[in-house]
């Protein structure tokens, strides 16, 4: 038990209030486990810089039933958001509101999309506290099996609240042999107010298959989210990931990829834009169980105001995983003297024939480039904006799903405008 | 157009200009020569307003106004252009984007409409042909991965698009092979105009074989110690800079 624990009785009560279905046993078991774990405590090994104590408090209040619902014109908001996203990104969309999956799912040819409760398979719950918490309070999740490549990506749109304060999202995505899947995930808020969303996504990538996955998080500035992605790669597979974190008060991402087959390739790319008091924490973990295999990673961050960001990139090369080739970079642009980045590579290598490179940079805008632009007639603010865009544009050039390029460019343009305007 | 009187400036508390006088009129080409460390590049940087330099005495008037109180971008919009000795590489910023943004910043300052996209491309392509530059340079990052010669051509391209009243070219000839030098000189000569002044900052006489100056000045320890016509450049080439010092002091 720790100070971030919940009352076991209240947690049980909340689990029992969910409808009886295939997931009931999983929930009860997970609730039991979570009661012994509690939320991660700041300062513990994986949570050195990120503090979930407010989330523990918020969850307790919510379980107590003492939370006021944040009043907002939900219906109207939801419709607008859904329309703006689905109009901009051409995809087969699945909409999930407050952890509840919209019923009108159409399955593209060769792909099955079902609720997890409707799939007769045992759900594997991870061992970390947040995955266990997710399993305890999960209403339902999405189960996708991709057997045939589609022209358009599949899209998952997670819209939160404000009718639900604490939300669990879960997606399990199986990609069958030789299939290619494009997936776009958008995480947005339908209202303002304190909320917490906990999402777990699993990718099971069978031999010769590939996944191109773009995740865009642009939630409300009071929102907290914890997000875990697990990818398991069999032989000769590719997992391309682009994460974009623009919103949220506190955001924590854990991207865990395990290379279990030879000649697999993992590309993890991320961009985080933080201003005011935002906190964005990216933990990645690339496990090379076998070699030869390759992983590349590039995360870029732009920080202004009093924001704080964390990058922790672990690369693990198991004994015998010879021929592993891995490189990892984290570049940060600080637009304010008060912004803080804690960046740490973590290499654990137990094989002999391995190439691993890593590097991290933290800096301000290049003064000579600023002066060069000003000497051509661009004013100071415009020059700052141009250089900040240039810094961010590196991640767009590696975008794994082309269909969301325009949407992202607009989103980034607007956000960078604010960031440069609020710098200092 | 440009009147510099008794200009003294420092960088990091070290004096680099020590009482420099220079007068440049429209239509003229001036060459400023001098050994390394004589203050040539410092003069260019002070005129365009680099923040690392501090003017401690003297005045710089441009078109009758005090130039020193203007921000760098306002100097540019008023028609001053510096061709950098070391053009900066800016990955992620498209060359065409910068050209267009620069042209429009100036037009806006002068109360004109933004340049039409078609007109812009036509002008850019025409100028690139003159400079023997491949059009693909428009879509590359500003100076990103450009060779020395390509960077200098790119500076002249910007100059041509911006049509400055006063152009200062800092060591535009350094590091150029003969073909690049000819292309750059060709570009500069095409921009000679009765309403435009050009100041060439150079270490060697070589550039002046291709761009003929009206005046040649010798800069020494932060001051102009000798001025003359293009014959002076040849004399320098023959006798070296040490000759100037003995001539002036005797």
Residue indicated by tokens 């006088």: B21
Query: Is residue A34 domain-resident?
Result: no
For residue B244, what pLDDT is reported?
83
pLDDT at A64: 87
Residues of A with CB below 8 A from B155's CB? none
Q: Is the pLDDT of residue A314 over 90?
A: yes
CA angle, residues A312, A185, A288, in degrees to nearest 5: 40
Q: At A336, which helix (H) or strand (E)?
A: none
Question: Kind and range of the H or E element at A82?
Answer: helix A74-88
What is the pLDDT, as a whole number, of residue A69? 55
Edge-to-edge order in the sheet of strand B2-11: B14-24, B2-11, B53-62, B65-66
* pLDDT at residue B245 in the model: 80
- Reported residue count of chain A is 424
pLDDT at residue A111, rounded to an integer: 96
pLDDT at B250: 58
Cis check for the bond before A162: say yes or no (omega within 30 of 0).
Answer: yes
Instruction: Kindly report which listed range (A139-153, A203-217, B201-215) carries the lowest average pLDDT score.
Output: B201-215
Specify whether the CB–CB gap between A45 and A312 falls below 8 A: no
Exposure class string for A85-102: b at 16+ Cβ within 10 A, else e: bbebbebbbbbbbbbebe
pLDDT at residue A2 greater than cutoff 70 = no
Q: What residues of B are in contact with residue A386 (Cβ under 8 Å)?
A: 93, 97-98, 101
Q: Which residue has the higher pLDDT, B250 or B28?
A: B28
Residues of A within 8 A of B106 (CB-CB) are 377
pLDDT for the residue B102: 96
Q: What is the pLDDT of residues A349-368, one digit of tens each?
A: 999 999 999 999 999 999 99
SS (H, E, C) chain B: CEEEEEEEEEECCEEEEEEEEEEECCCCEEEEECCCCCCHHHHHHHHHCCCCEEEEEEEEEECCEEHHHCCHHHHHHCCEEEECCCCCCEEEEEHHHHHHHHHHHHHHHCCCCCCCHHHHHHHHHHHHHHCCCCHHHHHCEECCCCCHHHHHHHHHHHHHHHCCCEEEEECCCCCCCHHHHHHHHHHHHHCCCCCCEEEEEECCCHHHHCCCCCEEEEEECCEEEEEECHHHHHHHHHHCHHHHHHHHHC
* Closest residue of chain A to B109, computed from CA coordinates: A377
What pLDDT band is residue B109 in, cutting at 50, 70 and 90? Answer: very high
pLDDT, position A73: 56
| CB distance B93 to B65 below 8 Å | no
Cβ of residue A389 closer than 8 Å to a chain B Cβ:
yes
Show residues of chain B in contact with A391, CB under 8 Å: 92
In a domain, A374, yes or no: yes
- Given an 8 Å threshold on Cβ–Cβ distance, is B76 in contact with A377? yes
Question: Distance of CA A340 to CAs A104, A277, A280, A389, Å?
Answer: 44, 10, 11, 20
CATH code reported for the domain at B2-249? 3.40.50.300
Q: Is residue A317 within 8 Å of residue A259, measured between CB atoms?
A: no
In a domain, A153, yes or no: yes
Identify which of A268, A103, A10 has the alpha carbon closest to the alpha carbon of residue A94.
A103
Express as a percent the part of chain A with pLDDT over 70.
Answer: 95
Per-residue pLDDT tens digits for B229-244 = 999 998 888 888 888 8
A378 closest CB neighbour out of B48, B50, B73: B73
pLDDT tier, B221 (very low <50, low <70, confident <90, very high otherwise):
very high
Residue A311 sits at the vertex; the CA angle it makes with A306 and A313, to the nearest 5 degrees, is 175
Q: What is the nearest CA distance from A399 to chain B, expressed in angstroms?
A: 15
Q: Which of A368, A369, A375 sits opposite B82 (nearest CB)?
A: A375
pLDDT in tens, A123-173: 889 999 999 999 999 999 999 999 999 999 999 999 987 666 899 999 999
- Interface check for A377 against chain B (CB to CB < 8 A): the answer is yes
At B24-58, the pLDDT tens digits run 999 999 999 998 899 999 999 999 999 999 999 99
Average pLDDT over residues B198-218: 93
pLDDT band at A329 (very low <50, low <70, confident <90, very high): very high
Query: Has residue B18 got a pLDDT over 90?
Result: yes
**pLDDT at residue A38 is higher than 90:** yes
Classify residue A13: in a domain, yes or no: no
The set of residues, in sequence order, having a beta carbon less than 8 Å from that of A80 and lying 6+ positions away, is none
Closest CA to A117 of A94, A134, A140, A83: A140
* Confidence class for position A192, pLDDT limits 50, 70, 90: confident
Could you report the per-residue pLDDT of B154-200, keeping only the tens digit for each? 999 999 999 999 999 999 988 888 988 998 999 999 999 999 999 99
Q: In chain B, which residues have their Cβ closer than 8 Å to the Cβ of A372? A: 84, 87-88, 90
Q: Is residue A7 domain-resident?
A: no
**What is the rounded average pLDDT of the residues B190-219?**
93
What mean pLDDT comes out for the span A297-309?
A: 96
Q: Answer yes or no: do A378 and B87 touch at CB < 8 A.
A: no
Number of domains within chain A: 1
Distance of CA B68 to the CA centre of its chain: 17
Contact A376 B88 (CB under 8 A): no
* Residue extents of the structural domains in chain B: 2-249
Which helix (H) or strand (E) segment holds residue A72: the answer is none
Q: Which two tokens stand for residue B175?
A: 């590091």
Q: Are B158 and A393 an interchain contact pair (Cβ–Cβ within 8 Å)?
A: no
B120-139 tens-digit pLDDT: 999 999 999 988 889 999 99
Section A189-198 average pLDDT: 87
Residue B249 pLDDT > 80: no
Interchain contact, B101 vs A386, CB within 8 Å: yes
Integer Rg of chain A from CA: 21
pLDDT tens digit sequence for A68-111: 555 555 566 678 889 999 999 999 999 998 899 987 888 999 99
DSSP assignment of A337-405 equals SS-EEEEEEEEEE--SSEEEEEEEEEE---HHHHHHHHTTT--HHHHHHHHHHHHHHHHHTT-S-GGGH
Answer yes or no: is the ipTM higher than 0.90: yes
Q: Residue A116 phi/psi, 5° resolution?
A: -60, -35
| A380-412 residue pLDDT tens | 999 999 999 999 988 888 899 999 999 999 999
Residue A113 has pLDDT above 80, yes or no: yes
Q: What is the mean pLDDT of residues A209-237?
A: 97
* pLDDT for res A80: 85
Residue B221 region by backbone torsions, left for phi larger than 0, else alpha for psi between -120 and 50, else beta: left
**Band (A200; pLDDT cuts 50, 70, 90):** very high
The answer to whether B73 contacts A380, with C-beta atoms less than 8 Å apart, is yes
Q: Residue B205: pLDDT band by 50, 70, 90 thresholds?
A: confident
Gap from B88 CA to chain A (nearest CA, Å): 6
**How many angstroms separate the CA of residue A23 from the nearest CA in chain B?**
49
With a CB cutoff of 8 Å and minimum separation 6, the contacts of A146 are A110, A111, A154, A173, A174, A175, A176, A179, A181
Tell me which residue range forms the domain holding A151. Answer: 77-421
Helix (H, G, I), strand (E, B) or coil at A108: coil
CA–CA gap between residue A117 and residue B144 (Å, rounded): 54
Instruction: Assess A398–B contact: CB distance below 8 Å, yes or no.
Output: no
- pLDDT for A76: 64
Q: What is the mean pLDDT of chain A?
A: 92
């Amino acid at each position: 038990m720790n100070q971030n624990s919940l009352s076991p009785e209240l947690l049980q009560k909340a689990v029992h209030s969910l409808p009886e279905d295939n997931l009931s046993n999983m929930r009860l078991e997970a609730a039991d486990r979570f009661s012994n774990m509690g939320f991660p405590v700041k300062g513990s090994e994986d949570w050195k810089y990120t503090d979930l104590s407010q989330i523990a408090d918020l969850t307790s209040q919510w379980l107590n039933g003492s939370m006021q619902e944040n009043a907002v014109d939900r219906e109207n908001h939801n419709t607008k958001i859904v329309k703006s996203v689905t109009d901009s990104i051409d995809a087969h969309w699945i909409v999930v509101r407050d952890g509840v999956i919209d019923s009108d799912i159409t399955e593209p040819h060769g792909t099955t999309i079902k609720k997890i409760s409707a799939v007769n398979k045992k759900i594997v719950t991870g061992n970390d506290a947040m995955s266990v918490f997710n399993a305890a309070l999960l209403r339902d999740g999405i189960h996708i099996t991709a057997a045939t490549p589609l022209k358009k990506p599949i899209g998952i749109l997670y819209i939160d609240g404000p009718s639900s304060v604490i939300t669990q999202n879960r997606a399990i995505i199986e990609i069958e042999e030789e299939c290619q899947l494009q997936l776009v995930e958008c995480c947005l808020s339908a209202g303002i107010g304190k909320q917490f969303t906990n999402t777990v996504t699993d990718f099971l990538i069978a031999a010769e298959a590939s996944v191109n996955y773009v995740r865009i998080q642009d939630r409300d500035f009071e929102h907290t989210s914890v997000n875990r992605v697990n990818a398991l790669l069999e032989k000769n597979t590719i997992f391309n990931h682009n994460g974009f974190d623009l919103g949220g008060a506190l955001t924590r991402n854990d991207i865990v990829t395990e290379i279990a087959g030879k000649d697999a390739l993992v590309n993890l790319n991320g961009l985080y834009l933080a201003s005011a008091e935002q906190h964005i924490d990216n933990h990645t973990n690339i496990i090379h169980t076998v070699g030869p295999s390759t992983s590349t990673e590039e995360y870029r961050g732009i920080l202004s105001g009093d924001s704080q960001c964390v990058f922790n990139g672990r690369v693990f090369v198991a004994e015998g995983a010879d021929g592993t080739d891995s490189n990892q970079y984290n570049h940060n642009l600080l637009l304010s003297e008060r912004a803080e980045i804690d960046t740490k590579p973590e290499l654990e290598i137990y094989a002999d024939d391995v190439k691993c490179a890593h590097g991290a940079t933290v800096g301000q805008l290049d003064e000579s480039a600023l002066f060069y632009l000003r000497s051509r007639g661009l004013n100071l603010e415009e020059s700052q904006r141009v250089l900040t865009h240039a810094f961010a544009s590196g991640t767009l050039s590696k975008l794994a799903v082309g269909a969301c390029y325009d949407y992202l460019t607009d989103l980034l343009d607007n956000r960078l405008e604010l960031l440069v305007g609020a710098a200092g | 157009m440009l009147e510099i009187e008794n200009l003294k400036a420092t960088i990091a508390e070290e004096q680099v200009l020590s009482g420099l006088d220079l007068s440049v009129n429209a239509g003229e080409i001036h060459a400023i020569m001098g050994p390394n460390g004589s203050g040539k590049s410092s003069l260019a940087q002070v005129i365009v307003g680099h923040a690392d330099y501090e003017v401690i005495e003297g005045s710089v008037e441009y078109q009758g106004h005090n130039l020193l109180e203007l921000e760098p971008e306002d100097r540019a919009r008023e028609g001053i252009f510096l061709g950098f000795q070391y053009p900066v590489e800016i990955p992620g910023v498209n060359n065409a984007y910068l050209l267009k943004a620069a042209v429009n910043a100036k037009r806006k300052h002068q109360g004109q409409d933004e340049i039409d996209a078609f007109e812009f491309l036509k002008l850019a392509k025409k100028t690139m042909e003159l400079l023997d530059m491949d059009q693909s340079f428009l879509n590359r990052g500003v100076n990103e991965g450009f060779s020395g010669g390509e960077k200098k051509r790119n500076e002249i391209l910007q100059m041509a698009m911006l049509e400055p009243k006063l152009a200062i070219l800092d060591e535009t000839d350094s590091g150029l092979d003969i073909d690049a030098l000819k292309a750059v000189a060709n570009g500069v000569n095409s921009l000679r105009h009765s309403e435009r002044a050009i100041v060439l900052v150079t270490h060697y006489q070589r550039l002046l074989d291709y761009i003929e100056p009206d005046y040649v000045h010798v800069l020494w320890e932060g001051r102009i110690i000798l001025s003359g016509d293009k014959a002076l450049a040849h004399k320098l080439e023959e006798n070296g800079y040490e000759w100037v010092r003995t001539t002036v002091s005797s």
